[in-house]
Amino acid sequence: MTSLITDTVAARLDLVGATAREQDLYAGAGTNFYDRLVGPDRAEIREVLALARAVPGPVLDLAAGSGRLTIPLARSGHRVTAVDLSADMLGRLRGAVPHEATVECVVADMRDLALAGHFGLVVLGATSITLLDREDRSRLYAGVRRHLTATGVFALTVADGASADSLGVATDREITVPGGAGEEPYLFAQQIEGDGAVRVVNWVRLADIVPRTEVPVLTSRLHVLSPEVLAGELVAAGFTAPERSPVRTPAGVEILLLTTSRAGDGRGGR
């Protein structure tokens, strides 16, 4: 497997004779960090809830993670199937599902969807489409198409404007992340690869950078995608040209919600 350690982090650890231990953001200890990182982030929830109210049928939350979108959907009375590749992330979701809610958690790869039934709304939030490369996105689109009802809606989010621009630029800076004992400082490093098509991101807790030790480095690898590219791909995959609407975020992060449905050709679900 190719290393997901950025040059910046490697150099920083090298300075003190330490080595990196890669830790996927969505597995093991990464899941706790992810929740701390995005925990208070309510972005997309109100838009997704409005969509779910408007379309009949159950909801499929893809790359559901620890349930940032699933839980509010379930609390609002929707029947939700939550799919995620990470059993650890879904474990956190299961622990947070309210008693009365109807949530089915499925550990599965969103590139190979094979679920029973069809869905009125399929959601892929948190710009998680960027986890997939072009071929994987094609597989995802085909699976979503098979799982939508005839009037079903596929909703996905992508960064836009200045937020999108910042994703294409190498970055390293200190950030703080809420922890049990207050805010903890982390080094955040973003490295751009593949002529700007891919970004590798790392987070290292500064307190963990101890000379001559193995230091946990949280990693993720993401594709840099524009709304225009995704719109073209969706149409080519048999969806209608997506409608675009801005997602309101308190932090001023620019996110676009793309909503689309099956272009009518009689294929797919009921």
Ligand X SMILES: C[S@@+](CC[C@H](N)C(=O)[O-])C[C@H]1O[C@@H](n2cnc3c(N)ncnc32)[C@H](O)[C@@H]1O
Asked if residue 68 binds ligand X (CB under 6 A), the reply is yes
Binder to ligand X among 71, 89, 215, 230 (CB under 6 A)? 89
Cα–Cα nearest to 249, from 162, 177, 123:
162
Asked if residue 73 binds ligand X (CB under 6 A), the reply is no
* Alpha carbon distance 203, 57 (integer Å): 39
Written as one letter, the residue type at 265 is D
Q: Is 33 or 186 the residue whose CB approaches ligand X more closely?
A: 33
CB of 73 to ligand X, least distance (A): 11
CB of 19 to ligand X, least distance (A): 26
> Residue 192 phi/psi, 5° resolution?
-100, 130
Binder to ligand X among 6, 8, 23, 128 (CB under 6 A)? 128
Q: Is 6 or 84 the residue whose CB approaches ligand X more closely?
A: 84
Binder to ligand X among 6, 23, 81, 86 (CB under 6 A)? 86
CB of 210 to ligand X, least distance (A): 29
- Any alpha helices (H) in the chain, and if so which ranges? 7-15, 29-38, 45-54, 70-75, 87-96, 134-147, 161-166, 227-236
CB of 110 to ligand X, least distance (A): 4
Asked if residue 110 binds ligand X (CB under 6 A), the reply is yes
User: 19 has which bridge partners?
Assistant: 214
Binder to ligand X among 47, 84, 160, 233 (CB under 6 A)? 84
Q: Is 18 or 61 the residue whose CB approaches ligand X more closely?
A: 61
* Alpha carbon distance 241, 55 (integer Å): 18
Asked if residue 109 binds ligand X (CB under 6 A), the reply is yes
CB of 133 to ligand X, least distance (A): 11
Asked if residue 111 binds ligand X (CB under 6 A), the reply is yes
Asked if residue 85 binds ligand X (CB under 6 A), the reply is yes
* Alpha carbon distance 181, 165 (integer Å): 34
Asked if residue 47 binds ligand X (CB under 6 A), the reply is no
Cα–Cα nearest to 64, from 151, 126, 22:
126
* 85-123 residues labelled b (16+ CB within 10 A) or e (exposed): bbebbbebbeeebeeebebebeebebbebeeeebbbbbb
* Alpha carbon distance 5, 219 (integer Å): 7
Q: Is 18 or 225 the residue whose CB approaches ligand X more closely?
A: 225
Residue numbers of the site for ligand X (CB under 6 A)? Answer: 26, 38, 63-65, 68-69, 83-86, 89, 109-111, 125-126, 128, 131
